Chains A and B, each alone.
Chain A
């Protein structure tokens, strides 16, 4: 393949990564924005989503599409519920003290991850996509003095990957409508702006926090259900999404929702392009160091507003 088609493929694959990443990072961002809590166990909620998707799909055993739809509903509910319970049992008891919360969520990370290792096992397990037709992609060629289309060999994408991009966009729009147009969203934003004042106005802040923590985990689980037909479910799969989500949330500005989406697209697409043309390890080193530098020299993020 030539450079042009190759680049287009890299960008498309990057867009799929970006779509998943936007969902996962949005979960982290919502939790940080409303609760000012850094959830280190976020990647494990993602992993749990994928594992539950595998479990639901294999238990139902019917048509892949049926299992997929069931997983898309059940996995976020179960994972979100678990997260909400963990919030009430653990994080609320330690009063969301920043340092102790981080230590506690590190503990939760290992409990979930190793618990999955003990039950689900160390193997990677696939989930069949609901539909998966190959769509060849055209490329322009300048031949014999005129422009013409042709289909280079190997330049294609699957219908499922395009569906992932669309589904992630739909979920994000639904989240935005929920946050800006519903009463529950209003309550959440009120709690974000001033939790003491919200409490004084009779908002059950504790319940709102548990709900937000569950919502954040559910978003990660949705991302995982979407990704699991492309990438297999594995007990260590939460590690990379956690780091990438951190990167996205930091670049986008901690707690800024539009910033998170923009940064996810930026990081996802550039990750796709860089790892096609360069060594993925080198790409990861560069990205990690770059993000550390952003935090050191521009802690409000590239798009965030300066703190008052």
Chain B
């Protein structure tokens, strides 16, 4: 077993152990961090590994969230089918948006993804008869069960989050070492050279967006499932910016950076919420400081300075 895989398994084991060691409040926080870290890992595949800076990932997060929540709320779908619907919904949205947005590059790509996400958010508001708009709706607790486990209990929520987090982390770890992931990194580093070497760059980027969007959709669906609530604010602009913040802070293009960044920011928001309601102020300050002083993030800097093998 190599060091990267051992590190991933070690982190997963430590997170499993943490539930029994940490006080209930922090375990609850950690469950939320793991779900949001899934989102950040999905975002990282597009931004950190392929170099595609999307400002519209809330669209995919929202597609997954509403895919699960609406099919549960209005059709009484059980957990597993609802989760599948969510994954298919977010994959389809990512495929269509990716095919269109990837015709543009750089700044135009960012604005196009931002616009698509804004249109998705407004659509959720427009159909407020079903989605109840900003106010959102609470999922029926009786349906939030899987294989006999109650997903609304503290333990059920924690271990469901851990299971999906672990699967995503191992999947990302495998992708970035597979030829597909290597090709994505090649595109990020030097796109004309990747093209010259014979890679179908457009198609690879499209696949990256689809996988990234589906993982983000998984995170949205998991969030709705475990916390029992779906609302349009999860599809709004700040939810496109937050994964960027988590990934930049933890380190873009590192497998564990999203987890580190998410954990750090959630606790920072948590601490600041006792001082002020304006928690996004902290997000703004951290974003500016990061771009100025730590563009590679925490793990990216650590990899550069001390641990070159860090995955």
Is B287 located at the chain interface by the 8 A CB criterion?
yes
Is A171 located at the chain interface by the 8 A CB criterion?
no
Render A289-308 as a binary contact track against B, CB cut-off 8 A, 1 for contact: 10111011101000000000
Stretch at the interface among B18-26, B111-119, B167-175: B111-119
B107 engages A98 (CB within 8 Å): yes
Q: Please, which residues of chain B bring their CB within 8 A of the CB of A113?
A: 280, 284
Q: Please, which residues of chain B bring their CB within 8 A of the CB of A103?
A: 244, 248, 287, 290-291
Q: Please, which residues of chain A bring their CB within 8 A of the CB of B103?
A: 296-297
A-contacting residues, B203-247, CB 8 Å: 237, 241, 244
Is A279 located at the chain interface by the 8 A CB criterion?
yes
Residue of B nearest to A38 (CB): B107
User: What separation, in Å, do the CA atoms of A90 and B292 have in the docked complex?
Assistant: 7
A36 to chain B, nearest CB (A): 9
A99 engages B53 (CB within 8 Å): yes
| Size bin of chain A's contact surface | 35 or more
User: What separation, in Å, do the CA atoms of A279 and B123 have in the docked complex?
Assistant: 12
B288 engages A282 (CB within 8 Å): no
A124 to chain B, nearest CB (A): 17
A295 engages B292 (CB within 8 Å): no
Q: Please, which residues of chain B bring their CB within 8 A of the CB of A118?
A: 276, 278, 281
Contacts A100-B291, A102-B53, A111-B288 given; does A295 touch B241 at CB 8 Å = no
User: What separation, in Å, do the CA atoms of A38 and B108 have in the docked complex?
Assistant: 10
User: What separation, in Å, do the CA atoms of A297 and B101 have in the docked complex?
Assistant: 10
A252 to chain B, nearest CB (A): 14
Q: Please, which residues of chain B bring their CB within 8 A of the CB of A94?
A: 291-292
A243 engages B118 (CB within 8 Å): yes
Is A1 located at the chain interface by the 8 A CB criterion?
no
A115 engages B281 (CB within 8 Å): yes
A301 to chain B, nearest CB (A): 11
Is B104 located at the chain interface by the 8 A CB criterion?
yes
Is A200 located at the chain interface by the 8 A CB criterion?
no
Q: Please, which residues of chain B bring their CB within 8 A of the CB of A237?
A: none
Q: Please, which residues of chain A bring their CB within 8 A of the CB of B288?
A: 90, 104, 107-108, 111
A246 engages B281 (CB within 8 Å): no
A295 engages B126 (CB within 8 Å): no
A292 engages B100 (CB within 8 Å): yes
Contacts A90-B291, A102-B55 known; 10 new A-B pairs at CB < 8 A: A99-B106, A100-B291, A107-B286, A114-B280, A117-B281, A285-B123, A288-B115, A289-B116, A292-B119, A296-B100
Binding site for B on A (CB under 8 A): 38, 90, 93-94, 98-100, 102-104, 106-115, 117-118, 239, 243, 246, 250, 279, 281-282, 284-285, 288-289, 291-293, 295-297, 299
A sample of 5 inter-chain contacts (CB < 8 A) reads A99-B106, A102-B55, A102-B110, A110-B287, A296-B112
